[in-house]
Chain A
Amino acid sequence: MEFPAVLFPSYFGAGPPREDGGPAPVAGWGEHGQVLEGGPCRRQAQPAFVPRRGATGERWEASDAAAVPVLLPSAGCWIPSPAPQDILYRGGLCKKLRASKSRATLDFARQLGHFFVDHPEDAFGSLGQLLHKNFYLGNSMLKVTLCPGITVLFPTHPLAILNLCPLLLGCPRQHLASRLRWFSHLCRDWLFEVPLGLLADCLHEELMQQWSNLLFDDSLTGGALAWLPPEDGGTPVGRLVYPGGKAMNHLYFQDMVLEELPRARGSPAQFELSGRVRQVAAARVDGEDFVGVRSDYHCGVWRVPGRTGATPTPLQVIRTDVPASCLTVSPHLPGELSVCTQSGTIYLWSVETGLQQLRHDPQTMFFRDHSPWRWSDFTAHPRVLSCADRTGLQCLDARAPKKCHFDLFKVGEEAGCQQGERVVLPMYLGRAHPSQYLVTTQFSVYVLDERLPLVPVLKWAHMMKAPPLFAHLMPGNPGRSHQVLLGASRTQELLLLQYRGGSRSACQLAGTPQKLQSIMGCLQHLPTQLPHRQHLLQQRLAAPAAGLAATLQEDGPHKSMLVFQLSEAGDVFCQRLTHKAAQPPAPPSRDEATLAPGSSPLFEAPASSPQGLGAAALRYRRWLRALSRTCREPPQHTWHPSLSQRRLFTRRDLEGPAGPSSLQRQMHQRLRQAMQEGSRIQHWEPLAIQPPPLPQTPELVGGPDPLSARLTAAWAGDWEQWWEERTSFSVAQRQRALRERRRRQKRARGRRSLSASFTSSLTYQSELSELSDAGPPLLSPGHPLILSQEGSPPAGSPAVCSPPASPAPDEALLSSQSLRCRGIPKERRKTLRDYLSVWAEGPPEPPEPPGSQASQLCIPSSQSQLSSASQPRRKRPRMGF
């Protein structure tokens, strides 16, 4: 534990950061910072100086042109998280705003529309059901004339109305539907299950949350990938710990054999967790690895014995009320971790003794910052923990946390910070030097020494486009330089830094920083795919990074570095860097040649390989094949057609009245006259005093079905009387309805097998494209029976969500009478009937008992959205609550 005898000179000031701010795109280049006398003297009596930055470092060269997948893609397609274009407002206004460097505009209306489409059951669910049960209008339109000249047609099924709402609210072509606007104006008070204001508030909040997550998602801080190195002197088999599964809620421990390219051995140990894994942290104490896993509300710790092949054992799980933002594992004591929650609480968590609260402070430490993010890590003293928020770091003694603490890092003049700079990731560098600490901000990276708090011993502007959320340290042997990897999430950037010193000599940044390949970078080397597949591949490879791990491998004189990168899609990619011992003066750099666009050395046959293709290329082949396998065939039950609802109203229905009513004409005339005369209109009454235009009794267009009758009665004001009649009448009617339904069910069961036998998927698909008019699929795929909106289900049919139990709705549709009523030509009726029967039953290929089909149809909507992979349209962000 020596302290450098001489440190690099620097000014020290207290207070807030200096005024100049903003990211400097090249601030990290061309500066030595300071110099110090040191190093071997070249000439006698001539001091030799070493720079703080710019000393020569080790030389690492990538051995492949791109990062290579180490694991096959996990089964099941990945759902991309929302992209800016999903949330932002698109259009001319947007461009203008962006040009003026204003803030981004969230497309609130579109999201609300999406919400109605994606979650109709939440927005209108029980109301729809209520209406559904009690209102029956027959197969006809209800025409209501509100005042002379304005006639509104109610479609008879309430659900039909529901589907209009997105059209009404976020409608991009509102000028087409002024009449619909009236309609929405009429019904908006009663149509929504959730009050619109409240819904909008919640949605807006969610939208802001999503947007801020898009800008910077700090829940990933620390990264969800860990490498457990092989035991010293043991077989070269390490372990990779990473999350997987569609929801990233499975934890895998995979044995990896370190060869030219690391290779998975055996199947991984797998644990299913109850939340998305945000962070995986690991530390080795006394030959055993302790792996801490953080999800939003749960943190768990596993012990992995050092010997290879030993199974990891879960030790303990804690649950937090507030999302946890940090979990680090002690490198000093077995089974000790530190946990932070977003409420500003820091715990020392020992598997043996439980949780000890060290601090609870919802406020930030040095100045006010709104972020609830907190971090904590260990220090050189096993009982002293660091705690961090966006404004800085403090160290506190767990034995007396209130009394004993000191400031380690402050965003301010002390460290020469810029304005607006915030701590992004602190990390204890104990393996390089027991008292060193790494702090990254969005602009710079700092190395701190606990023994000299507040003054960074090293500072460098990293120039990364996104803040470095992940960092990994590979300590060098004494006297050698330490390698630090920084990783960003959204941009997948990876930066390799080297530094040395800290004990005998002052800290120095060695060599130039080096950019490593990102996952996305391999796309240009891959063979060209079909456009649609290319798009999928691109989307997959561009997924934000979710973790970073690396290891040094020494094989005699050869030294190499393996860097693993995890993406949010669950892919783990790896790249190998080989150490070049001596720095030749000017070697023709291989990289410069490979960077020529279009060339893909990855797939060129290296001379040394007898098979004709490199190991990396083979890996890629296999990975691509597996990826296309998992993504090409969406699970059958998620197949669904898209339907347009343009046919809900015919053009004629939507046409307004031919001309202004007589009353209006009269008014116009009066107004014009008054203007000509220059007089005033004091009373707006027509000349002849007329009774106020009461709404007329609705005309019944269709037959006198119960709902129409009831509405009519209610409109006319004698609803009570209607009810009296109804109750006496209803018992008998209900019995009749029940009998009727049973009969239909019986018939439907017979027919279903029949229709399945002659309906091929091909025919209905082609019919479908005719039907759907290529409009966007506005129906929620989870509830395909919404189609039956036009046909009116008989009273008492079951809830929307359990369709297969009652084929009744389509029964009504399928009768050729009803089809004829709709004006569907005879030759189409059969196909439509077939198609609709398919709707009620799910895909026909596997003839399964109706019971299992029920489960197929009632899949949760999130899963069914997977099928959007087969559609050109991008998945909308899920705005669920």
Chain B
Amino acid sequence: SSHEHKLNFRQSKEACLSYIQDALLQKQWKRAAEFLTCYVESLEKDYSREQIGPSEMIWRIGTEILWHHSQSSMKEFNCFMEQMKTLGVKRYLKVCLEHVFHLLCNGQIDEAYQNLSLAESWRFGEQTAIQDKEMKLIEAYRGLLDYYSWSKQKNILLEHSEDGFSDLAVEQEMHSYFRKAAVSLKEIIKIPGVWDIFVKCYVDLLEFYGDHNEARQVLNEYAYNSKFPANPNAHVYLYQFLKRQGESKKSLISALKILHDIVPSHELMIDFNTMLQKSKKRKKHLLGLEVIFAALDYAGWKENAKAWSCLARQVKQIVTSEKHLDWIKQEWNSRKDWWPAFHFSRFLAKRNWQENESLSYEKALVAGILLGKDCKYFKYVSHQGCKAQLKRFRMLKKFVNRHNPVYLRISG
């Protein structure tokens, strides 16, 4: 009967699909390709209205096979993609994008550009929300490629101007690339998302043409608009822009302060700490101490010698001046129950000593002050250092012994 036939058809289709899946997952591309040719037949007979119809499957599986198949070529791939584009209207833009991505990854920038322009001009009825997004992405990528052309022209122009030429045609071409790139890049970075590369390129364009206000506005929007995700890069770009613009220390610090609030473990925290240390204000010094303590809370900073030397320097400063010991005390209070095991265990003392002597020196200084001269870490490292007849370790021992009462005041 026809029902039975349908059922059998469906079953064999599913079995075929599972064979393909199996072959793909075991990287047996040839086998998968053979099964796929069988599966293609199902496309002709399939009238089901399932969400994921076989045409999408064929596109996905076929693409995957053609990526890896030893005998596939770019020409075949392009041909396949063109066919896939005509298979489903709803998927047209998506397939175009993926095709472009593949071309880009294979260095075929011009072909990719052509495809993008073609896709941009595609219209079919009313667009769905997803299609709208895809269209925006296509435009943005086209803008990105325009940007690369622009920067290529710019480089040519700069080279020429060094030689004393000025090529009007090249310059005009460059400007037209700028206009095209700017228009489409501007569009996408308005929509909430992660647009690092687009923002960077757009800002570069604006800066070149001297539109700093617009650039600042874009970067501020990207960093501070609450609809956008809390992307640390947005703040980094803003900070870098401000630095390039030669802005005041104050605005730089305030930019980094926000970065510190959202990502205390960011690598810029070392710069931030140094900047704060150089400041004359006491409040900034306190902030610097907080920043470096907070950074060292993170597992990723555990063996960062730079950070430890920042902390050691600041702690040493405070101890020798005997002012603001309460700062250390305050920071130490929330850490004293776990930093000893996290940073200053005997095991770590041994390992740090073996692997990075200067790290162990900085850490031993901090440990000696925070935990006293009887702390395991300090004892082991200073002992090893003295045994190895290193002068600075002897100095370290002396320093810590002299300032041992500080430890009582901090922990008390």
Contacts and interface: CB of A to CB of B under 8 A. Distances in A.
A54 interface: yes
Interface stretch (B20-28, B245-253, B388-396): B20-28
A452 interface: yes
Interface stretch (A36-44, A101-109, A203-211, A244-252): A36-44
Given A26-B57, A381-B298, A287 B347 contact: yes
B341 interface: yes
A516 to B, nearest CB: 9
A150 interface: no
A9 interface: yes
Interface of B, helix, strand, loop or mixed by DSSP: helix
B28 A451 contact: no
A7 B299 contact: no
B105 A51 contact: yes
Interface in A638-680: none
Contact of A454 (B137, B229, B263, B265): B229
A837 B60 CA distance: 71
A288 to B, nearest CB: 8
Given A35-B101, A382-B299, A383-B297, A515 B198 contact: no
B111 interface: no
Contacts of B301: 1
Interface string B315-353: 000000000000000000010011001100101100000
B298 A1 contact: yes
Contact of B297 (A382, A435, A455): A382
B192 interface: yes
A289 to B, nearest CB: 13
A463 B24 CA distance: 12
Interface in A345-361: 353
B229 A452 contact: yes
Contact of A54 (B67, B188, B232): B67
Given A9-B137, A30-B60, A512-B68, A381 B24 contact: no
Interface in B206-243: 227-233, 236
B51 to A, nearest CB: 6
Contacts of B168: none
B105 A35 contact: yes
A591 B230 CA distance: 46
A317 to B, nearest CB: 22
Contact of B232 (A3, A31, A399): A3
Given A10-B194, A333-B338, A515-B22, A589 B231 contact: no
Contacts of A7: 194, 196, 231, 233
Interface in A366-382: 380-382
A331 B298 CA distance: 12
B50 to A, nearest CB: 9
Interface stretch (A17-25, A570-578, A607-615): A17-25
Given A11-B133, A35-B104, A515-B25, A333 B232 contact: no
A586 B233 contact: no
Given A34-B101, A42-B107, A451 B265 contact: yes
A480 B155 CA distance: 34
Contacts of B232: 3, 451-452
Most chain B CB atoms below 10 A, which of A43, A451, A592: A451
B42 to A, nearest CB: 13
Interface in A33-87: 33-37, 42-43, 45-51, 54
A331 B302 CA distance: 13
Nearest to A53: B101
Contacts of B148: 47
Contact of B345 (A30, A286, A380): A286
A interface, how many residues as a size bin?
A: 35 or more
A515 B27 CA distance: 9
A463 B298 contact: no
B384 interface: no
B240 to A, nearest CB: 10
Interface string B8-29: 0000000001000110111110
Contacts of A702: none
A334 interface: yes
A27 B61 CA distance: 9
A6 B200 contact: yes
A586 B33 CA distance: 15
A321 interface: no
B267 A589 contact: no
A286 B341 CA distance: 9
A1 B265 contact: yes
Nearest to A13: B192
B194 A1 contact: no
Contact of B347 (A6, A12, A286, A380): A286
Nearest to B200: A6
A495 B21 CA distance: 13
Contacts of B109: 46-47
A430 interface: yes
Contacts of A589: 27-28
A434 interface: yes
B156 to A, nearest CB: 9
A452 B230 contact: yes
Nearest to B7: A99
B102 interface: yes
Interface in B144-203: 148, 152, 155, 188, 191-198, 200
Given A29-B61, A32-B102, A333-B338, A451 B266 contact: yes
B140 interface: yes
B337 to A, nearest CB: 8
Contacts of A557: none
Contacts of A37: 197
Nearest to B339: A382
A513 interface: yes
A379 to B, nearest CB: 9
B257 interface: no
Contacts of A12: 192-194, 227-229
B299 A430 contact: yes
A34 B152 CA distance: 23
Contact of B194 (A26, A27, A455, A495): A455
Contacts of B51: 20, 22
A97 interface: no
Contacts of B63: 29-31
Nearest to A6: B196
A286 B188 CA distance: 48
Interface string A575-592: 000000000011001011
A46 B107 contact: yes
B24 A512 contact: yes
A2 interface: yes
A31 B57 contact: no
A8 interface: yes
A177 B309 CA distance: 90
A595 interface: yes
Given A12-B228, A34-B101, A35-B105, 14 more contacts: A5-B196, A9-B194, A11-B133, A13-B192, A37-B197, A51-B105, A334-B345, A380-B265, A380-B300, A383-B338, A434-B300, A452-B232, A455-B229, A591-B27
5 contacts: A9-B188, A11-B133, A414-B229, A434-B300, A512-B68
Interface of A: 1-14, 20, 22, 24-27, 29-37, 42-43, 45-51, 54, 286-287, 331-334, 353, 380-383, 399, 414, 430, 433-435, 451-455, 463, 495, 512-515, 585-586, 589, 591-592, 595
Sorted nearest first, the 7 A-B pairs with minimum C-beta distance are A586-B70, A30-B63, A515-B25, A434-B300, A1-B300, A30-B60, A286-B347
